[in-house]
């Protein structure tokens, strides 16, 4: 069987089906076997695993996943790609199920129910325009997933992994680190894709926590505070949270909560760790009651 990680094979398939890349779906197909091997290694896939692949494209990564995993479920939004996957590039794999659908509207637990309690790992070369919404759905819905290994824009990967004090640190960093342990597995240059994206890429693995690393009384309220803190990141927490109507907090309450926690009244969101945001949420929550 011909592997699509060979650019000549990819071109042949695209020509055979007169396929045009859809900008609206953010389609950039991988054409580098070394990168695919790094993804498979980072995901630590074994024969017991069920892999959920989001956006298989023409099946470049899918071929390798089918050989490494027990079962693969691939969800592809572009219906023009379904016959390529099922009748051509991946037709010989009996452990592959291809679904035509939008992952944001897919009943993922229902899709995975037939595989019982086997470990589920998400692996994907994600469309960059919708990376964050997809990741947040996978994390916030508390799906039965052990890890998520994805190709994303390099700066997004750096944001997920970074800590307080960095310019990349923000709401995404805190959300990802609340649900998972991030590990940057590889940087990937633009020439590993067809067509070439205008940005650098990276492979990141998120290993989901069995329970969050911090305890907070109201998780939703904590994330409301975090978003307000970074919406205008140059502002102090007193102004950022106090000016955001969705928090329901006055500037005076924020100042008092910070004083209780022995934090400066002029501190900004980018200086706070996840445990400090949890403490602030609990302090402000008790005041509001």
CA distance 5 to 192: 9
pTM of the model: 0.93
Convert the pLDDT of each residue in 89-144 to its tens digit. 999 999 999 999 999 999 999 999 999 988 899 999 988 889 999 999 999 988 88
Four-way CATH pick for 7-208: 3.40.630.30, 3.90.1150.10, 3.40.50.10800, 3.40.50.150: 3.40.50.150
Q: What pLDDT shows up at residue 162?
A: 95
Same fold, 7-208 and 219-288: no
- Nearest to 81, CA basis, from 100, 60, 62, 95: 100
CA distance 166 to 270: 7
- Contact between residue 45 and residue 68 where contact means Cβ atoms under 8 Å apart: yes
Compute the average pLDDT of residues 27-50: 94
Residue 215 has pLDDT above 90, yes or no: yes
Q: How confident is the model at residue 219 (pLDDT cuts 50, 70, 90)?
A: very high
- Nearest to 68, CA basis, from 46, 93, 91: 46
Q: How far is CA 149 from CA 9, 111, 167, 182, 228, in A?
A: 25, 19, 24, 10, 29
Residue 22 has pLDDT above 80, yes or no: no
Parallel, antiparallel or unpaired: strands 201-208 and 180-188: antiparallel
Fold of 219-288: Helicase, Ruva Protein; domain 3 (1.10.8)
Rg (CA), the chain: 21
Listed by start position, the domains of the chain span 7-208, 219-288
Q: Which two tokens stand for residue 183?
A: 């590990």
Residue 204 has pLDDT above 80, yes or no: yes
Q: How confident is the model at residue 285 (pLDDT cuts 50, 70, 90)?
A: very high
| C-alpha triplet 137, 141, 144: angle, nearest 5° | 110
Q: What pLDDT shows up at residue 172?
A: 95
Question: Using the 8-state DSSP alphabet, how is residue 223 labeled?
Answer: H
């Amino acid at each position: 069987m011909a592997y699509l990680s060979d650019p000549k094979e990819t071109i042949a398939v695209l020509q055979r089906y007169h396929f045009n890349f859809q900008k609206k779906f953010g389609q950039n197909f991988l054409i580098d076997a070394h990168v695919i091997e790094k993804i498979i290694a980072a995901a630590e896939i074994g024969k017991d695993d069920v892999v959920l692949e989001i956006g298989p494209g023409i099946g470049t990564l899918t071929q390798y996943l089918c050989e490494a995993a027990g079962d693969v479920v691939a969800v592809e939004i572009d219906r023009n790609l379904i016959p390529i996957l099922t009748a051509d590039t991946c037709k010989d794999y009996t452990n592959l199920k291809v679904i035509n659908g939008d992952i944001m509207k897919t009943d993922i637990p229902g899709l995975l129910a037939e595989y019982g309690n086997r470990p589920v790992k998400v692996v994907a070369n994600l469309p960059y325009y919708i990376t964050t919404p997809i990741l947040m759905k996978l994390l916030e819905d508390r799906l039965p997933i052990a890890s998520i290994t994805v190709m994303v824009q390099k700066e997004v990967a750096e944001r997920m992994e970074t800590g307080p004090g960095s310019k990349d640190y923000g709401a995404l960093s805190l959300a990802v680190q609340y649900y998972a342990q991030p590990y940057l597995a590889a940087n990937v240059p633009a020439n590993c894709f067809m067509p070439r994206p205008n940005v650098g890429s990276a492979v990141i693995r998120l290993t989901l926590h069995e329970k969050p690393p911090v305890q907070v009384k109201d998780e939703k309220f904590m994330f409301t505070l975090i978003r307000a803190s970074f919406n205008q990141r140059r502002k102090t927490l007193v102004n950022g949270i106090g000016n955001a109507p969705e928090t329901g907090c006055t500037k005076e309450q924020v100042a008092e909560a910070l004083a209780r926690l022995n934090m400066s009244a002029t501190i900004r969101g980018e200086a706070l760790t996840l445990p400090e945001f949890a403490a602030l949420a609990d302090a402000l929550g008790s005041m509001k009651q």
